[in-house]
Amino acid sequence: MSNEFYALTVNGIRHEVRDAWAGESLLYVLRERLGLPGTKGACEQGECGSCTVLMDGEAVCSCLVMAATATNADIVTVEGLSLDGEPTDVQQTFVEEGAVQCGFCTPGLIVAAHHLLDRNPHPNELEIKEAISGNICRCTGYGRIFAAVVEVRDQRLDQRHDAGGR
Amino acid sequence: MAPQTITRTRNGLGASALRPDGIPKVQGRFAFSSDAWADNMLWGATLRSPHPHARIVAVDVSAALAINGVSAVITADDVPGKLTYGLIASDQPVFARDVVRFAGEPVAAVAADHPETARRALAAIKVDYEVLAPLVDAETAVDGSFAPIHPAGNVIRRQRVIRGDQNFVGDVVVEGTYEIGMQDQAFLGLEAALALPDDDGSGVELFVATQWLHEDQKQIAACLNLPLERVRLTLGGVGGAFGGREDISLQVHCCLLALVTKRPIKMQYGREESFYGHIHRHPAKIFMRHHADRDGTLRRVEARVVLDGGAYASTSSAVLINAVTHMQGPYKCEIATVDGYAVRSNNPPCGAMRGFGVVQACFAHESQMDKLAAACGLSPVDIRLKNAMQTGDRLITGQVIESVAPVARCIRETAALPMPEPLPDEPDPLLIPGGSGLTARRSNIRRGVGWGVSLKNLMYSEGFDDYATARCRLVDGVATLQFATAEVGQGFVVLAQQIARSVLGVDMVLLEPISTAIGSAGSTSASRQTWMSGGAVDGACRRVRERLFGHVAAAHGLDPLRLTVDGTDVVDTTGSLRVPVADAARGVVFDETFAHHHRPTEELDENGQGNCHVAFAFVAHRAVVDVDPDLGLVKVVQVATAQDVGRVLNPLAALGQVEGGIAQGLGLAVMEEIVLRDGKMRNPSFTDYLLPTALDAPSVAVTMIEEPEPQAPLGAKGIGEPPCISVTPAIVAAIRAATGKELPRVPVRPHDIVFG
């Protein structure tokens, strides 16, 4: 333990982390020190994707990142995808398509799906499956998760099409 | 005048109503048990034995207690009440005292100010072990050649099922020995709890992820030597269960640390500890011999079943009963000779996992049905149709199947589902066995098709009254429901709302916290909550409706029997009164509690005869696989299924159960196994224990067979377990069809295909 502090920028807000053990993972600091328990831990080895967050726009497993090394990154967690409290299209569609059962893998999948659709607006079926294959879900068998991502992709394409036609 | 139409979205029974916890879950706002937090809390952690079998010579905790930030270290000497717990037999120590019986058994626990401090404290506890030879081969428990490793002996239960002419020999006889590996539930949400001690130290409150709050309460209170009402449990959000949260894991340790330190204690396992901390699916070895007439009519099944229960009994005796009573599969069969053992060993303890003994039985009987088909010159479909069980047929226990039993229809409707497209000549690498590693060559890939059909008992068996309780309160058109039913992801919370909307004609249904503040709902297991807790919510809502009708009838001088609910109105069926439920009894509170019981069942006699089960559900699976036989790689392309569900109450939720169960059955077929060597787990991590990902999941084609079940309160059978049972043998049969290999063991590993 030490009296020094480091700063993390999470969901646009700068947080000072004080008196922390330097070995703490970003996942632990988000959950236990910054009051952001939406990001989940389930394997501690980067295998399950439950702890996925965005660091400078890239999807990473926060269990594998030492928090003290993330000081210069712009970090976005599931809580920060929508800043007005309204669910995003991905979040709303996950619920409507039945992609949520126990919900423990869900925050990581929501972040992964946003990441996919933001960098590739029209992924094909295999690209979607590959993009979410780093997130393990034990409840759903992935069918409804896949359907939800396809639905958001199509909704966004329709909106773009509509906007272009006006 | 045009008839009135109801335009409001009702989201009652039969609709794909959306779960009330959905938006909080996608936004990261839903509180799982691991998210619980309290001011001034300490972290609990558990010291576990590294040895599968050892005598504890001495435990020295002084160095751990001396570490700054460590508040308490507790061992067996600190347990104030009963020293053991267990679901059926209380044979598992809270902490090992003199002997450890499996690698991972708790020996001590600490409370500290930080998880890292707790970890260092565990490392500082000195335990002097005298290592003993472990019992790791279940057969040495059966034959009595290994000295008892527990005062209760090495055989947890033996049960025979003997029926009909024991000398009968069929015209056609096929046999085989089958093995099922140890599967893990691998729920994503790790074990976690927060315990809050009462200020005066006289009790404790526990927020915990579990499947059955009241059973936990009973076991915790006994170990803490507290009256039941001083141990209050509230369900913390549960990240999946699948049977793995039926037993006590950290509950007693967490409460005890809270009482000793007088501070809130948070405990949560990591993934490796979770593998040690909960029970698994029983590994099994099953010999089966089928006798049939030349035309394929099944006449006799013989079986010898050995389930390795590991170090402690958990639910082994009930798992065994399920296995031995389901050995015939969903087929008529008059004669049976079944002998089953659930034994104790120094392997990790085994207990409930989705399918509960029937998974193991099904892999054996379905492998046998394919052998029988081949021996009789029939197709896999025809042999199953020929022998398909119907309502009125008997189990090998003599019990008459009174449930709706559309076995033939499940098979036919599965067969009618479209087959997948053939593999293209130049497929995307992600589609071929082995995936994007470009390991399989297109020209090597062979496609196979296989079948599996199963039956599964619903609810608890052998005389157990696993009732469920629910309460409904109605005020001014708003219903509030209360129950202790563990929501583990299956969606009972939305089903309960749907029931209330349909029965009471209300839109708004509030849910009280799920806790021990109301009577037991029984366990969220055995595909039972839709039937049991659904029946309880339905009963409570109907009682409230009866009182509402009484009130309206009295106010308007009507016969209450003339009243009904139409949409959101109370309506006089023979008159003109129509009044919204919300206005029908302004300010009046109707509050009713109802306990639903299923019909009584019996224990089995020494020959395994008796009406031990409540009801049954049936399902068929057809699997299509692509295999590279040279490399032993498998891609499951498609699973088609028709499932007997009674009635679909929420199409979206039902589909989710079916698809999710299929993925777990796929895992057992080709991926998932806890590998043991000398009693120690070799792969207790998600790096080494492989779970199906989105790229492993097959496309799924589903038909729901809706023939309402007269016994069931809502006409609906449980749907949780059947999806994961016969899909495993169907996939293995498809691999056999593609390769010609015998493959008597699951999971099928690459070397089984290449060298088998």
Interval A65-90 mean pLDDT = 96
The predicted pLDDT at position B464 comes to 97
Nearest CB to B188; choose among A87, A104, A110: A104
The per-residue pLDDT for range B98-113, each reduced to its tens digit, is 999 999 999 999 999 9
Would residue B106 count as lying in a domain? Answer: yes
Would you say residue A166 has pLDDT above 50?
no
Cβ distance of B431 and A126 shorter than 8 Å: yes
Tell whether B284 and B350 lie within a shared domain: yes
Tell whether B702 and B626 lie within a shared domain.
yes
DSSP state of B220: H
Q: Is the pLDDT of residue B1 over 50?
A: no
B213 at the A interface (CB within 8 A)? no
Whether the predicted pLDDT of B75 surpasses 80? yes
Residue B144 lies in a domain: no
Total domains, chain B: 3
Asked if B188 is an interface residue toward chain A (Cβ–Cβ < 8 A), one would say: yes
Question: Which tokens go with B92?
Answer: 């598992």
Residue B161 in domain: no
**Cα dihedral B690, B724, B637, B626 in deg (nearest 10):** 70
Domain that holds residue B316: 280-461+603-755
pLDDT of residue B435: 83
Q: Which residues of B342-352 are buried (b: 16+ CB within 10 A; e: fewer)?
A: bbbbbbbbbbb
Tokens 């590294």 identify what position? Answer: B50
Report yes or no on B56 lying in a domain.
yes
Angle (deg, nearest 10), helices B380-387 and B407-415: 160
| Residue B11 domain-assigned (yes or no) | no
What does each C-alpha distance from B326 to A149, B155, B530 come to in angstroms? 40, 21, 22
At residue B283, φ and ψ (nearest 5 deg) are -65, 145
What distance in Å separates residue B479's CA from the closest CA in chain A? 23
Which residues of chain B are within 8 Å of residue A148 when distances are taken between CB atoms? none
Torsion of CA B667, B668, B674, B677, to 10 degrees: -130
Give B-chain residues touching A36 at CB under 8 angstroms: 28
Q: Is the pLDDT of residue B247 over 90?
A: yes
Q: Mark whether B297 and B262 lie in a shared domain.
A: no
Provide the 8-state DSSP code for B397: T
Whether residue B388 is found in the same domain as residue B498: no
Indicate which CATH number applies to the domain containing B385. 3.30.365.10
HEC assignment per residue over B678-713: CCEECCCCCCCCCCCCCCCCCEEEEEEECCCCCCCC
Query: Bridge-partner residues for B290, per DSSP?
Result: B174, B301
The H or E element containing residue B595 is strand B589-596
Say if CB B587 and CB B467 are below 8 A apart: no
Nearest to B452 by CA among B368, B545, B557: B368
How far B714 CA sits from the closest chain A CA (Å)? 22
Output b/e per residue, B599-632; b: 16+ Cβ within 10 A. Answer: eebeebeeebbbbbbbbbbbbbbbbbbbbbbebb
Q: What average pLDDT does range B509-535 have in this prediction?
A: 98
Task: Point out the domain boundary residue: B550, B575, B596.
Answer: B596
Residues of B in contact with A45 (CB under 8 A): 271, 685-687
CA-based nearest distance B265→chain A, Å: 14
Residues B615 and B749 grouped into a single domain: yes
Mean pLDDT of B700-724: 98
- The amino acid occupying position A141 is G
Mutate to test the interface with A, among B29, B39, B120, B188 (most CBs of A within 10 A): B188
Check CB contact of B113 with chain A, cutoff 8 Å: no
pLDDT band at A4 (very low <50, low <70, confident <90, very high): confident
What's the token pair of residue B555? 């106010």
Q: How many helices (H) and strands (E) does chain A have?
A: 5, 5
Residue B555's alpha-carbon distances to B475, B552, B578, B584, in angstroms, are: 17, 5, 13, 9
B180 part of a folded domain: no
Residues B255 and B209 in one domain: yes
One domain for residues B347 and B452: yes
C-alpha of A22 from chain center:
24
Place of tokens 């003199």: B98
CB-CB under 8 Å, A91 with B26? yes
CA distance A95 to chain B (A): 5
Mutating which of B27, B430, B431, B490 best tests the A interface, going by the most A Cβ atoms within 10 A? B27
Query: To the nearest whole angstrom, how far is the Cα of B355 from the nearest Cα of chain A?
Result: 15
Q: Which residue of B has its CA nearest to A83?
A: B27
Nearest to A50 among B26, B188, B428 (CB): B188
DSSP 8-state code for residue A56? T
Report the greatest alpha carbon distance in chain B: 89
If you measure CA to CA, which chain A residue comes closest to B19?
Answer: A95
Q: How far apart are CA B324 and CA B305, in angstroms?
A: 7
At B375-420, the pLDDT tens digits run 999 999 999 999 999 999 999 999 999 999 999 999 999 999 999 9
Position A10 pLDDT exceeds 60: yes
Which of B596, B618, B636 delimits the end of a domain?
Answer: B596
Residue A164, pLDDT score: 65
Angle, vertex CA B258, rays to CA B252 and CA B263, nearest 5: 165
| pLDDT at A3 (0 to 100) | 62
In this predicted structure, the answer to whether residue B505 has a pLDDT above a threshold of 80 is yes
Partners of B35 on chain A (C-beta within 8 Å) are: 31, 37
Q: Residue A43 has which token pair?
A: 């394997």
Question: Taking the CB of residue B515, how many other CB atoms lie within 10 A of it?
Answer: 17
Q: Residue B504 is encoded by which pair of tokens?
A: 């009471």
pLDDT at A1: 46
Q: Please indicate, yes or no, whether residues B497 and B451 belong to a single structural domain of this protein.
A: no
127-166 of A, contacting B, C-beta below 8 A: 129-130, 132-146
- Tokens representing B56 are 């504890």
Q: What is residue B5's predicted lDDT score, i.e. its pLDDT?
A: 42
Give the C-alpha separation, B168 to B191, whole Å: 51
- pLDDT, residue B56, reads 98
The tokens for B287 are 């010999």
Structure tokens at B81: 């009440």
Picking from A95, A138, A143, the nearest residue to B26 by CB comes out as: A95
B428 touches chain A (CB under 8 A): yes
Q: CB count, 10 Å around CB of A4?
A: 11
Q: Pick from B18, B23, B26 the residue to mutate for testing the A interface (most A CBs within 10 Å).
A: B26
Q: Is the confidence at residue A130, as pLDDT, over 70?
A: yes
pTM for this structure?
A: 0.97
Distance CA B104, CA B50 (A): 6
Nearest to A11 by CA among A64, A49, A51, A54: A54
> Do B285 and B273 belong to one domain?
no
| Record: contact B186-A138, CB cut-off 8 A | yes
Q: Which residues are paired to B84 by β-bridges?
A: B93
Residue B413: which H helix or E strand, with range? helix B407-415
B93: CATH: 3.90.1170.50
Size of chain A, expressed as the number of residues it contains: 166
- Partner residue opposite B116 with nearest CB, options A23, A90, A135: A23
Q: Does B29 touch chain A (CB under 8 A)?
A: yes
User: 3-class SS at B455?
Assistant: strand
> Per-residue pLDDT tens for B624-679?
999 999 999 999 999 999 999 999 999 999 999 999 999 999 999 999 999 999 99
A102 touches chain B (CB under 8 A): yes
Q: CA-based angle B202:B204:B209, to the nearest 5?
A: 165
DSSP-assigned beta bridge partners for residue B639: B623, B700
Same-domain pairing of B611 and B583: no
Q: Is residue B173 part of a domain?
A: no
Q: What is the pLDDT of residues B466-490, one digit of tens each?
A: 999 999 999 999 999 999 999 999 9
Reported as a single tens digit per residue, the pLDDT across B201-241 is: 999 999 999 999 999 999 999 999 999 999 999 999 999 99
| Cβ neighbours, 10 Å, residue B754 | 15
- Domain end residue (candidates: B552, B568, B596): B596
Does B304 lie in the same domain as B449? yes
* Partner-chain contact B26 A107, CB within 8 Å: yes
**Distance of alpha carbon B129 from alpha carbon B306, whole angstroms:** 31
Q: Are B127 and B134 in contact (CB under 8 A)?
A: no
Q: Across the interface, which of B430, B489, B660 has its CB nearest the CB of A103?
A: B489
Percent of chain A with pLDDT over 90: 92
Give one DSSP letter per residue of A119-163, joined into a string: H-SS--HHHHHHHHTTS--SSSTTHHHHHHHHHHHHHHHHHHHHH
- The answer to whether B454 and B722 have CB atoms below 8 angstroms apart is yes
- For B195, half-sphere exposure in the C-beta direction (CA atoms, 13 angstrom radius) is 29
Nearest Cα to B94, choosing from B103, B105, B83, B80? B83
**Domain architecture of chain A: domains with CATH:** 5-80 (3.10.20.30), 89-165 (1.10.150.120)
How many cross-chain Cβ pairs, A to B, lie less than 8 Å apart?
Answer: 188
Q: What is the mean pLDDT of residues B724-742?
A: 98
Q: Length of chain B in residues, anyone?
A: 756
Give pLDDT, residue A83.
84
Residue type, B95: F
Per-residue model confidence as pLDDT tens digits over B341-362:
999 999 999 999 999 999 999 9
pLDDT of residue A78: 98
Residue B8 has pLDDT above 80, yes or no: no
User: Are the beta carbons of B239 and A79 separated by less than 8 Å?
Assistant: no
| Interface confidence (ipTM) of the complex | 0.97
Measured CA to CA, the distance from residue B384 to residue B619 in angstroms comes to: 12
Q: Which amino acid is at B465?
A: D
Looking at the fold, whether B302 and B414 belong to one and the same domain comes out as yes
What chain A residue is nearest to B39 in terms of C-alpha separation?
A32
B643 DSSP β-pair partners: B619, B704
> Half-sphere exposure (CA, 13 Å, Cβ side) for B266?
19
Using a CB-CB cut-off of 8 Å, the residues of chain A touching B115 are 28
Which parts of B338-406 fold into alpha helices (H)?
A: 358-376, 380-387
Please give the structure tokens belonging to residue A119.
């960098």
The SS3 of residue B297 is coil
pLDDT at B95: 98
For residue B491, list chain A residues with Cβ-Cβ distance below 8 A: 101
Please check whether residue B668 touches A, CB under 8 A.
no
> Which residue of chain A is at minimal alpha-carbon distance from B696?
A133
Crossing angle (nearest 10°) for helices A89-96 and A143-165:
130
Question: Is B181 inside a domain boundary?
Answer: no
Which positions in chain B touch A107 (Cβ < 8 Å)? 25-26, 28
From CA A34, how far away is CA A77, in angstroms rounded? 12
Alpha-carbon torsion angle B415, A146, B238, B279, nearest 10:
50
Give B554 to chain A, closest Cα distance, Å.
Answer: 43
Question: Closest by alpha carbon to B24, among A146, A32, A141, A106?
Answer: A106
> Which residues of chain A are within 8 Å of residue B25 when distances are taken between CB atoms?
95, 100, 103, 106-107
Which of B246, B222, B258 lies closest to B318 in space, CA to CA?
B246
Q: Is the pLDDT of residue B732 over 50?
A: yes
Separation between Cα atoms, residue B258 and residue B267, nearest integer Å: 11
Closest-approach residue (CA) in chain B for A109: B26
| Average pLDDT of span B498-511 | 97
Cβ distance A38 to B28 less than 8 Å, yes or no, reads: yes
Q: Hey, which residues 45-64 in chain A have their CB within 8 Å of chain B?
A: 45, 47-48, 50
Q: Do A137 and B188 touch (CB under 8 A)?
A: yes
Q: Is the pLDDT of residue B465 over 80?
A: yes
